[in-house]
Amino acid sequence: MPHVSKPLPAPQDAEAMKFSEFGRLLAGPSGIGELMEDLGHALAAGGTGIRMLGGGNPAIIPAVADCWRRRMRELGDDPAAFDRMMAVYDPPRGNPQFLDAMAAMLRAKYGWPVDASHLAVTSGGQTAFFLLFNLLAGRQPDGTVRRVLLPLTPEYIGYANQGLSEDFFVSIRPRIEFTGAHSFKYHVDFAAVEEALAGDPSIAAVCVSRPTNPTGNVISDDELVRLSGLARSRGLPLIVDNAYGIPFPGIVFGAAAPLWNPDTILTLSLSKLGLPGTRTGIVVARPEIAAAVAAMTAITGLANGTIGQAILTPLIASGEIDRLVADHIVPFYRRKAALAREAVAAHFPAGSDYLVHANEGALFLWIWLRGLRCGSSEFSQRLKSRGVLVVPGRFFAFGSGCDRSHADQCIRVSYAMDDDTVRDGIRLIAEEYEASRSR
């Protein structure tokens, strides 16, 4: 079996060490921890020939990577800018030039009435969610505990362990549309969302990723506007996780208008543009929330990494980032997505009982293996032993109300890696699925 990851600490370590409640919640094993260990060891450390269809690492797109290298040379050739980037803390909210450039871009592109007071940089989108979720939900001053509603699950694995109280998420199952012999699509079940909002006073916020990780779904403009209206009518913020969305990285294959208003909290990230190593996320929210995020950054981390912001600022101001997205990033992922769908069609026998979710954005195919009896974790382990990493669907089903048995028949397959890896990995997935059905 190829070496993939070092073992995570055993769950009992947290107890043996007499860790706190915080430690018990955050220092033990988790789906996202396992995924990032696999990803890090398979990719960052040089890999071992493993077909890495597991993590959410973006591709290294040559023209985009050239741009980052050019910016690093420009920064290196400008001693004042270089020293500032390497040797000076930014304010906790983020680099002022970067914040101004971002706000100007959002005003110019979408007419949103935002300035730097509406923005806060975080150490990646992941940290933005940790801060936002625990700012809004969890134990309240009056002793009650509030929760986050996920209106369309399966949802992003990275949220699952972020709450600092138990039972943090309320998950709404999707309405499933069967769109073809081997295709399906999730829609928001508004009746269920409305019922949950009406019947559960503990809901503190609504959160959706658009495009959705793991499914590649992009909730429609109508669904988004309706969710925004529902949240607003109850005085709740709607958090929209735009890690793959517009304006960057723009990995959306159809039309999808972005939305922001003072009751929306939009998060962006530089990661899927191709800069995950810079750990840069951006929160766009009403000033009280942006200020709270900046205050939490000061306490938990003093300031954020400077490099991503320094690389990007002039590219935002000049519009070069839009050209990178339109000319390179979107065409790249469009092609990869088509290649992955074709590989599934080519390698799964026509009579096989599988369905692929509508592939509308992000880096993943979400494949529903309806004949899977062993569960998604066991299936992923079998694939791992054949040199293919995927993420078991069960990790994306969390929170009260989610459909664990459905997600446990699904796997998430990334198509960001090179063509041969994607094709070959999908071939092995199809083979292993057919083999598992005849066992």
Which residues contact ligand PLP (rule: CB under 6 A)?
56, 124-126, 156, 158, 209, 213, 241, 243, 269, 271, 276, 281
Cα gap 213→232, rounded to integer Å: 24
Closer by beta carbon to ligand PLP, 242 or else 376: 242
- The residue type of 273 is L
Q: Whole-number minimum distance, CB 307 to ligand PLP, in Å?
A: 14
**C-beta of 85 vs 208, nearer to ligand PLP:** 208
Report in angstroms how near the CB of residue 154 gets to ligand PLP at its nearest: 12
Residues 6+ apart with CB under 8 A from 431: 347
Which long-range contacts link 114-117 to residues 24+ away (Cβ below 8 Å)?
Answer: 114/260, 114/284, 117/287, 117/290, 117/291
Task: Report in angstroms how near the CB of residue 263 gets to ligand PLP at its nearest.
Answer: 20
DSSP states of 331-388: HHHHHHHHHHHHHHHHHS-TTS-EEEE---BSSEEEEEETT--S-HHHHHHHHHHTTE
> Given the complex with ligand PLP, which of 42 and 243 has the nearer CB atom?
243
Query: At its nearest, how many Å lie between ligand PLP and the CB of residue 366?
Result: 13
Question: Around Cβ 299, how many Cβ atoms within 10 Å?
Answer: 9
Q: Cβ closer to ligand PLP: 276 or 399?
A: 276
Minimum gap (Å) between residue 210 Cβ and ligand PLP? 9
Question: In the complex with ligand PLP, which residue's Cβ is closer, 209 or 348?
Answer: 209
Helix axes 79-87, 62-76, angle to 10 degrees: 100
Question: Between 330-347 and 419-438, two packed helices, what is the crossing angle to 10 degrees?
Answer: 30
Residue 202 has which token pair? 């503990």
Residue with Cβ nearer ligand PLP (271 or 304): 271
87's CB contacts (< 8 A; 6+ apart) are none
| Nearest approach, Cβ of residue 202 and ligand PLP (Å) | 24
**What's the closest the beta carbon of residue 259 comes to ligand PLP, in angstroms?**
17
In angstroms, give the least distance from the CB of 252 to ligand PLP: 13
Shortest reach from residue 393's CB to ligand PLP, in Å: 15
| CA dist., res. 147 & res. 169, Å (int) | 6
Nearer to ligand PLP, 122 or 421 (CB): 122
Least Cα distance to 173 among 404, 439, 436 occurs for 404
Smallest separation (angstroms) from ligand PLP to the CB of 122: 8
- Give the residue with the Cβ less far from ligand PLP, 417 or 428: 417
C-alpha–C-alpha distance, residues 390 and 413, integer Å: 5
Measured from the CB atom, the residue of 134 and 352 that comes closer to ligand PLP is: 134
Residues contacting 181, CB < 8 A, separation 6+: none
Taking CB atoms, the residue at the shortest distance from ligand PLP is 124
Cβ atoms < 10 Å from Cβ of 369: 25
| CA distances (Å), origin 279, targets 60, 248, 266, 307, 325 | 16, 15, 17, 9, 19
Nearest to 278 by CA among 118, 58, 116, 61: 58
Nearer to ligand PLP, 14 or 359 (CB): 359
Tokens of residue 424, six digits: 């070959």
